[in-house]
């Protein structure tokens, strides 16, 4: 018996010792104040805490699933201004021209970063924090490029970048990834990889404009912001921003074509880890759970057939634009719509987006509930992945950014139908809902996709956690970054080769034409 106890205690001590020597100090730096960008990767931090790592999180929101006593949280105030001087929200826009699309992104990020980099909590952290870390994780390549300087501040600590969207040529050029605008659509384009010739031209134009804007305007302006605001011991010797971005060890992309997305080749320093937020069954708030379990829709004088159709189902609406609620409620006055904020019949979303984000940063959505039969969505990548994962047909109203492409992908796969919110009416929405609910091919298709996704032979959450531990253990990674990262954008696009081939073709044509003329002259003389 004594020997057994000694063996048991020895195993416990060995386990504790093993945990301690494999525990890493990890800094998570997420001052960009949009929760949907952060919640997927926060699940990685939850798991890292569980595995015994020492986590310091600088962010606008704490970890929702982890005891605050188990990690260090440094709060950052809500820094994003959703409305411009004219009261317009930059988040509410349909697909515009190429120039407007690129300028929108640049201006939005420049405005956001100006707020972030001049906030006392952020500048003080850069200036005074003397922590020692084995790894830094931050959302860098979406409105966070200056934070690549954290690797320099902490004297070469490896940096993992978290990217919340799919393929963008200008961003992927920083990784040294292939740029093939003829077959790889930008994530902000309203079409998929089934591009027509004219769509390929449009995508090429967007790619070239985006590259020009990034290297000639966007990054130089960020350099000026950094010189003015990011000061810390040694910052006077800080390399240029492009060099800092090139020094990132790894990028985890919140995207996975196996779940939903356009398939494209990626370099070894990029890893698909989309769907980190997906769970078999997420706990709902008490009132929403009660609502979902006991659905009852009284008759309606305006649309009795629709209400009858919606018995024993839930209609979930996720959309920023209050005008869509104004269309939806008149056709179904007794439905409750949920989108982070619970709305009773007849109510419209009156609070502005900033106060909404402050008040309700995250509420579990009922797409996985057994009574949810239809999902009306704006087509954000997280909502789209949830629809696939839970096998729920969709009615889609894309508004901005990648939503157009996500919705087009879901429509092409046969998951549902798109109803453009620019032209939506109550009748159109009503007819679309009936078609998606009554036609079994939508539910059958999304059911097959759900089964496929749930049986994938890997877990993106496990992959993200293990990559983080791998980078921390090895103080970075060697051989993952392609040499193409150090080449010019012209070479990444293959412009030099095309120029040479064009010159050769022109020379051959000129020579052939000259020979033909000589032959004609000789024939005339004879």
For the cut 90, the answer to whether the pLDDT of residue 523 exceeds it is no
Backbone angles phi, psi at 214, to 5 degrees: -65, -50
Q: Is 295 helix (H, G, I), strand (E, B) or coil?
A: coil
pLDDT digits (tens, 9 = 90+) for 91-107: 444 445 566 778 888 88
pLDDT at 138: 96
Highest mean pLDDT among 207-211, 225-229, 316-320, 365-369: 225-229
- Mean pLDDT, residues 250-256 taken together: 92
pLDDT at 299: 40
First and final C-alpha spacing in the chain: 117
> Is 0.85 surpassed by the pTM of this model?
no
Which whole-number Å values give the CA distances from 346 to 18, 319, 320, in the listed order? Answer: 59, 16, 17
- Mean pLDDT, residues 515-524 taken together: 83
pLDDT digits (tens, 9 = 90+) for 298-313: 443 433 333 333 333 3
DSSP lists the bridge partners of residue 251 as 161, 270
For the cut 90, the answer to whether the pLDDT of residue 12 exceeds it is no
pLDDT digits (tens, 9 = 90+) for 452-466: 998 988 899 999 999
- Report DSSP letters for 493-522, one per residue: TTHHHHHHHHHHHHHHHHHHHHHHHHHHHH
pLDDT at 368: 64
- Mean pLDDT, residues 121-135 taken together: 94
- Mean pLDDT, residues 122-141 taken together: 95
Residue 96's nearest CA partner among 87, 88, 105 is 105
Burial class (CB in 10 A: 0-12, 13-18, 19+), 438: exposed
For the cut 90, the answer to whether the pLDDT of residue 342 exceeds it is no
- Return the minimum-mean-pLDDT range out of 128-137, 367-376, 382-391: 367-376
| Contact between 441 and 382 (Cβ < 8 Å) | no
pLDDT digits (tens, 9 = 90+) for 405-426: 999 999 999 999 998 877 777 7
Q: Which residue has the higher pLDDT, 518 or 292?
A: 518
Topology (CATH level 3) of domain 286-344+360-456:
Rossmann fold (3.40.50)
- Mean pLDDT, residues 424-443 taken together: 83
The dihedral sign for the CA sequence 486, 491, 494, 500: negative
pLDDT at 72: 95
| Contact between 404 and 190 (Cβ < 8 Å) | yes
Q: Is 351 helix (H, G, I), strand (E, B) or coil?
A: coil
Topology (CATH level 3) of domain 25-277+462-486:
Rossmann fold (3.40.50)
pLDDT at 278: 84
3-state SS track over 392-461: CCEEECCCCCCHHHHHHHHHHHCCEEECCCCCCCHHHHHHHHHHHHHCHHHHHHHHHHHHHHHCCCCCHH
pLDDT at 308: 30
pLDDT at 380: 84
- Return the minimum-mean-pLDDT range out of 171-175, 256-260, 300-304, 327-331: 300-304
Q: How confident is the model at residue 401 (pLDDT cuts 50, 70, 90)?
A: confident
Cα 166 from chain centroid (whole Å):
7
pLDDT at 124: 94
Measured between alpha carbons, how far is 238 from 84 in angstroms, rounded to an integer? 33
Q: Which residue has the higher pLDDT, 122 or 332?
A: 122
Where do runs of H (alpha helix) occur along 197-345? 197-213, 219-229, 241-246, 286-293, 304-309, 322-331
pLDDT at 41: 86
Residue 399's nearest CA partner among 168, 79, 95, 188 is 95
pLDDT at 362: 46
Q: Rounded mean pLDDT of the chain?
A: 78
Helix (H) or strand (E) holding 159: strand 159-163
CA atoms within 13 A on the CB side of 416: 31
Highest mean pLDDT among 84-88, 377-381, 509-513: 509-513
Residue 156's nearest CA partner among 238, 223, 65, 82 is 238
Measured between alpha carbons, how far is 331 from 303 in angstroms, rounded to an integer? 6
pLDDT digits (tens, 9 = 90+) for 149-189: 999 999 999 999 999 888 888 899 899 888 888 889 999 88
- Mean pLDDT, residues 264-278 taken together: 89
Q: How confident is the model at residue 441 (pLDDT cuts 50, 70, 90)?
A: very high
- Mean pLDDT, residues 485-512 taken together: 82
Q: Which residue has the higher pLDDT, 2 or 401?
A: 401
Measured between alpha carbons, how far is 465 from 469 in angstroms, rounded to an integer? 6
pLDDT digits (tens, 9 = 90+) for 226-248: 999 999 999 999 999 999 999 99
pLDDT at 101: 78
pLDDT at 283: 58
CA angle 382, 384, 386 (to 5 degrees): 70
pLDDT at 479: 81
pLDDT at 61: 86
Q: How confident is the model at residue 348 (pLDDT cuts 50, 70, 90)?
A: very low
pLDDT at 213: 92
**Structure tokens, 59:** 């962010």
């Amino acid at each position: 018996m004594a020997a057994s106890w000694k063996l048991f205690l020895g195993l416990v001590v060995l386990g504790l010792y093993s945990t301690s020597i494999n525990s890493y100090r990890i800094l998570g730096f997420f001052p960009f104040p949009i929760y949907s960008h952060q919640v997927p990767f926060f699940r990685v931090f939850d798991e890292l805490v569980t595995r015994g790592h020492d986590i310091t999180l600088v962010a606008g929101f704490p970890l929702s699933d982890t005891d605050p006593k188990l990690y260090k949280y440094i709060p950052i105030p809500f820094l994003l201004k959703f409305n411009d001087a004219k009261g317009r929200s930059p988040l509410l826009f349909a697909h515009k021209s190429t120039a407007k699309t690129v300028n929108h992104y640049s201006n939005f990020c420049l405005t956001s970063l100006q707020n972030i980099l001049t906030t006392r909590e952020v500048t003080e952290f850069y200036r005074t924090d003397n922590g020692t870390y084995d790894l830094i994780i931050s959302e860098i390549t979406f409105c966070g490029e200056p934070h690549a300087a954290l690797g320099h501040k902490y004297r070469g600590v490896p940096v993992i970048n978290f990217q919340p969207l799919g393929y963008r040529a200008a961003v992927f050029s920083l990784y040294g990834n292939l740029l093939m605008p003829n077959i790889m659509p930008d994530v902000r384009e309203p079409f998929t990889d089934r591009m027509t010739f004219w769509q390929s031209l449009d995508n090429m134009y967007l790619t070239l404009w985006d590259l020009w804007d990034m290297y000639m305007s966007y990054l130089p302006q960020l350099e000026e912001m950094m010189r003015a605001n990011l000061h810390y011991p040694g910052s006077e010797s800080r390399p240029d921003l492009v060099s800092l971005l090139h020094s990132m060890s790894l990028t985890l992309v919140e995207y996975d074509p196996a779940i939903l997305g356009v398939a494209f080749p990626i370099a070894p320093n990029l890893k698909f880890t989309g769907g980190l937020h997906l769970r078999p069954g997420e706990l709902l708030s008490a009132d929403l759970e009660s609502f979902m379990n006991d659905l009852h829709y009284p008759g309606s004088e305006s649309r009795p057939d629709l209400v009858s159709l919606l018995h024993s189902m839930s209609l979930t609406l996720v959309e920023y634009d209050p005008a869509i609620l104004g269309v939806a409620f008149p056709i179904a006055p007794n439905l409750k719509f949920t989108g982070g904020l619970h709305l009773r019949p007849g109510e419209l979303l009156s609070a502005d987006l900033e106060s909404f984000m402050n008040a309700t940063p995250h509420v579990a959505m009922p797409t996985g509930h057994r009574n949810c039969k239809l999902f009306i969505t704006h087509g954000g990548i997280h909502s789209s992945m949830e629809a696939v994962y839970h096998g729920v047909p969709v009615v889609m109203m894309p508004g901005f950014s990648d939503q157009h492409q996500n919705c087009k992908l879901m429509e092409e796969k046969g998951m549902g139908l798109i109803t453009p919110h620019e032209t939506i009416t109550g009748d159109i929405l009503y007819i679309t809902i009936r078609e998606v609910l009554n036609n079994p091919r939508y539910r059958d298709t999304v059911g097959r996709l759900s089964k496929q996704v749930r049986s994938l032979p890997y877990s993106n959450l496990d992959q993200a956690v293990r990559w983080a531990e791998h980078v921390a253990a090895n103080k970075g990674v060697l051989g993952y970054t392609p040499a193409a990262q150090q080449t010019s954008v012209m070479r990444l696009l293959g412009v030099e080769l095309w120029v040479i081939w064009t010159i050769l073709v022109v020379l051959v044509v000129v020579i052939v034409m000259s020979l033909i003329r000589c032959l004609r002259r000789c024939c005339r003389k004879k």
